[in-house]
Structure 1
Amino acid sequence: MPPDAGSAAPQPPEPAAAAAPAVGAAAQMLVLTAFVPARAAPHRRPPHPDPGHPAPPRSPPTHTITSARAQPTGPMRTGASVNRDRTVVFATPYFPPDVGGVQTYVHSLASALREVPGWRPVVVTTSPRGPSDDPFPVYRLPALAKLSNTPLDPRWPRQIRRILRAERADFLNVHTPVPGLADAATLAAGNVPVVVTYHAAALVKDGHPLFNTVARAYACAERFMLRRADSILGVSDFVAENFRPRYGGKVGVLENAVAPEVLAAPVGGSRPYAAAFLARLEPTHAWKGLDQLLPAMRRHPGRLLVIGDGAARTGYEALARKLGIADNVTFAGNLSGAAKFRALRSARSLVLCPTSPNDAFPTALLEAWASRVPVIATAVGPLASLVRDGVTGLLAAPRSPEALAGELRRLEANPGLAHAIRENACELVRSRYTWRHRVAEFVERLTAVERRGAPVSR
């Protein structure tokens, strides 16, 4: 949405010269972030007064980015609607309509923040243009190139700097460890307080040597961003523990959550599938372990529902045929919203079987718990502590189709155990894992940063 007619003319971003190859673009971003020194303690704007005491209104922005693909959607601040709301700019490489855990996390947190009086979310992302009815401003920046699934563009720092000025940002919340956008946003932040949210327990992925080479280089480059951050939030304790030795008291946890309405959805009906699997079917997501679950289903007579899509789907379909179980495996494709939850509730279990600890806090785990679908998980990374065996789910040995098949049989043979797991897990979500809980913690952490106090630590 363009600014008011009385505002100064918008300034478009510089045009790209030519798209660089993916690896070259990656190198540009790594150089951009690796050789910028960590800032000395900058001048901070005075903190806002307490919520009960009015703050002076701010003047409206005078410009915004308006290139064809960087035009924001959603309600924009104008001269008639200026207020004293504190603005949080979320910088995320992925955002709906793209699907995935980071996308859901950021959209849910921003939506919950929008309902908190005195706070205003703005999103900066690289995802394709989405619906025009976003409930808050969403800037979708173009990317010159992609390396694996990672968008990259050296123009982002200047573009994001303009957005931060136009939106009068009070906080910048960057979501990583995807290289590129989070680093560019941190570089552009100036005096705006930066909160880094870290979504992965490991950067290196199985079977991707080129990506892993860049990831290892990026692990050095991202130290600028982490040193610059006023607060670092892991999405699980497992992630946060990686940063506490180096960054100490500014490290905290802001766990994943689900929308409260998921808990209110009706539960019941037939459950024709013995198990469901929910993930993107991309080569970069092979570590999710569908190649372990399909052989497990060969040892189990039940049916499997696979929710998700991607370039690796045909390979998994071929594996199902090779194993002789194609008739018992349904590939449902990408599902979202109510359709996804209906599909999930048609299964008697959800299987999470990662082969590496990349998943910091699987969204699918909470969605299954909230839907009263028992979870069978491999004891890898954070899942080993998030799932209590026999209480909120069942744990299986990693990289073992035999172990997965054994836990499926155990669940089927013990309906009382399945019922107890469903109820225990649902109550856990209700008491701890909704976005109403999480946004209150988020505001508390932002307020601590704003007042220059010690970050709140769990």
Structure 2
Amino acid sequence: MVKVLHVITGLGVGGAELQLRSLLRHTRHSADVVTLYNPGPVADMIARDGIRVRDLAMTRNTELPALFRLRDLIAQDDYDVVHTHLYRSCVYGRAAARLAGTPVIVATEHSIGETHLERRRMTVAVRALYLATGLCGDATIAVSDTVRDRLVRWGVPERTVQVIPNGVDLDRVAFDAEARVRVRREFAVAEHDYVVGVLGRLDPNKRFDLVIEAVAPLMAGPVRLLVVGDGPQRRQLESVAARHGVTDRVTFAGERHDVAAVLSAMDLFVASSAQETFGLSVLEAMANGLLALYTTCPALTDVATDRARRVPGDIPGLRAEIAREVATGPRPRGAGTAIRERYGMPAVAGRIDDLYERLMAAGRSPRRRRGRRAARPRAAGAQTIGLAR
């Protein structure tokens, strides 16, 4: 069994964070987690699953002593693999793992867009730091062909990039008839109301303002909009709803951890992002049985399905597509077979586990650096969260 340490920037509720939790629940290897800071709700979820989670307790993005605390933590527990997730953890985690003499170092790139990396504009400095610490690693996992192409154009050696998609935890997002009734009652949605839903961080890239403006004229009838998520754009989105006079027809549900329940309450899912690296929310909606309308979703580039449709990224075009579905009425929940076969979490976790093993077998034996790592001092400054094995 391979001993793996996952290093992630934070563990608030987000796509990469929940993806890590799903991976941990399906891996066949031993795993621990370190978060650089912000041990949010996902840290508690992972700890309740029985995985050890430690908080490095960084207080700012540039904190050189944290690099050496992380190095000592890695060396202390003699990990075979260090796997980093998200930009800041790649910068600190890959360098710390190399200093600790870790045999195999892997990164997953979840959110690289055309112009931004995890809502961070791609400046020369950001790119240089990412590529420099990439020299410490053995492989970078791209979650889609689109991400692979962007990484290669950005300067990451193509031979080091492996395409392994995000996985969908089908059980976590499965349709739940009882939850549908419960959530709709919670938000005073009538049984006959048609609920259009969006889900994700409320930031400009998601363009949820576009959805509000597209749906607003359709709300004269029994149409409601459910906005699930939180973020810096919430007040602006509330203002858009007020400006169109539909405040009483738009429900801002805030951050929710019951993804299956809120998806089950919807009749149509809309993803309106300007850029996406994968499109996990679209796949989750499809796995819940919903029809999904999306403006961009790299995960569906070559997938034949009648459960999702690409739509225009402008208000008139999006409004016409939503109106078409409203006129049709709620569709029967679909099976999502294409998603299960390609993106089911057990299969995806298996591919990542296989990658660890291939890299270790390719001349990177744990014995190669074990003597050096054993000499490191005991790590200090990391707090264990919740349960520990």
TM-score range, shorter chain: 0.7 to 0.9
Give the alignment of 1:48-447 within 5 angstroms: 85-95=1-11, 98-113=12-27, 116=28, 119-125=29-35, 126-128=37-39, 130-131=43-44, 133-145=48-60, 151-176=61-86, 178=87, 180-190=88-98, 191-192=101-102, 193-202=104-113, 204-205=115-116, 211-212=120-121, 215-244=123-152, 246-262=156-172, 265-267=175-177, 270=191, 272-281=193-202, 285-301=203-219, 302-337=223-258, 340-355=259-274, 357=275, 359-378=276-295, 380=296, 382=298, 385=301, 391-398=306-313, 400-414=314-328, 418-419=331-332, 422-423=333-334, 426-447=336-357
Deviation at 1:227, TM superposition (A): 3.0
Cα shift at 1:315: 1.8
Q: Deviations over 1:196-247 (max 9, x none)?
A: 11012317359x8xx526x442112211222332111111111012234651
- CA drift of 1:250 comes to 2.3
Q: Could you say which residue in structure 2 is the equivalent of 1:23?
A: none
Q: 1:410 corresponds to which letter in structure 2? A: R
- Given that residues 234 and 254 in structure 1 are in contact (C-alpha distance below 8 angstroms), is that contact kept between their aligned partners in structure 2? yes
Work out whether residues 257 and 438 of structure 1, in 8 Å CA contact, stay in contact via their aligned partners in 2: yes
Structure 2 residue runs of 5 or longer lacking an equivalent are 182-190, 365-389
Please say if residues 273 and 305 of structure 1, whose CA atoms lie closer than 8 Å, have aligned partners that are also in contact. no
TM value normalised by structure 1: 0.68
Counterparts of 2:238 and 2:311 in 1: how far apart (Å)? 24
Distance in structure 2 (CA, Å) of the matches to 1:271 and 1:186: 53
Deviation at 1:152, TM superposition (A): 4.2
Structure 1 gap segments, 5+ residues each: 1-84, 146-150
- Cα distance, 1:415 vs. partner? 5.5
How many pairs align? 339
**Residue-by-residue CA offset, 1:154-184 (whole Å, 9 max, x unaligned):** 22211111111122110011112x3x32211
Whichever of the two has the greater Rg, that structure is: 1
1 or 2 for the larger relative contact order (CA 8 Å, sep ≥6)? 2
Counterpart Cα distance in 2 of 1:251 and 1:438: 16
The whole-number CA distance in structure 2 between the counterparts of 1:140 and 1:134 is 17
Moved over 4 A (4+): 267-271
The residue that corresponds to 2:385 in the other structure is: none
What TM-score does the superposition give when structure 2 sets the normalisation length? 0.79
1:201–1:381 contact (8 Å) kept in structure 2: no
Counterpart for residue 362 of structure 2: 452
Tell me, what secondary structure is at the counterpart of 1:224? helix
Counterpart Cα distance in 2 of 1:218 and 1:433: 31
Partners of 1:326 and 1:231 in 2: how far apart? 48
Q: How many percent identity over aligned positions? A: 22
Residue 189 (structure 1) shift: 1.3
